[in-house]
A and B are shown apart, each in its own frame.
Chain A
Amino acid sequence: QVLLQESGPGLVRPSETLSLTCTLSGGSISPYYWTWIRHSPAKGLEWVGDIYYSGSTYYNPSLKDRLTISVDTAKNQFSLNVNSVTAADTATYYCARRTIVVPHRFDSWGQGTLVTVSS
């Protein structure tokens, strides 16, 4: 069973970049899609974006101008960068695995990491 673990700073200053990494254990990056999802009291669960193990990305249009998702197959990791953050980016961020078979679903999730945007 694949386990996912998010890591990164819990506090980010406004206008700076939020950077998180998700590390897999017990499984391989290929041949799946890998996802970032966030949860805030204001917006509930919000899909941030996906990356295929080969590097193709799919971003939420509401965030895509500020987003970069990347994958490192050698390290069994994928990462999220969100630029120019504001308080609205404060959320618990989850990494998850998305199946390649249709209908797609998120079948494994990390525990989540709380990121607060504040000066």
Chain B
Amino acid sequence: DIQMTQSPSSLSASVGDSVIITCRASRSIYNYLNWYQKKSGEAPKLLIYAASTLQNGVPSRFSGSGSGTEFTLTINRLQTEDFGTYYCQQSYNTPRTFGQGTNVEVK
């Protein structure tokens, strides 16, 4: 199985801050990397697919980059509605695997 490791596991930030979350794959997954946002009591939401493509309707303050084994999710000008947990997920092969999540909380 391809292991996905996110860092940090949690972070505290203020509205207006920029936040960077890193995701590392245990072997190359090319650009087969997706990012999801999960808020308490809500369904997970696809933010970015193919490492850097913004899903329809997702604000442009979210961006993704990377390829191979190293990927980043950047949130610029953090908004109140952005607090929650973020997960990366590889779709290169089965079993599909997720990172352990990064909790973004209010400082």
The 8 Å CB contact of A109, one of B33, B43, B55, B96, is: B43
A44 B91 Cβ-Cβ under 8 A:
no
**Size of the chain B interface, CB-CB below 8 angstroms:** 26
Chain A, Cβ-Cβ closest to B31: A103
Residues of B at the A interface (CB closer than 8 Å) are 31-34, 36, 41-46, 49-50, 55, 87, 89, 91-92, 94-101
A12 to B25, CA, bound (A): 35
Q: How far apart are the CA atoms of A102 and B33 in the complex, in Å?
A: 11
Q: Contact partner of B94 among A58, A96, A109, CB < 8 A?
A: A58
A44 with B101, Cβ < 8 A, contacts A103-B34, A103-B49, A103-B50 known: yes
Q: In the complex, what residues of B have CB within 8 A of residue A11's CB?
A: none
In Å, the complex CA distance between A104 and B36 comes to 13
Q: Least Cβ distance of B93 to chain A in Å?
A: 10
Nearest Cβ distance between residue B49 and chain A, in whole angstroms? 4
CB distance from A44 to the nearest CB of B (A): 5
CB of A60 within 8 Å of the partner chain: yes
Q: How far is the CA of A112 from the CA of B91 in the complex (A)?
A: 21
Contacts of A106 in B (CB 8 A): 34, 36, 44, 46, 89
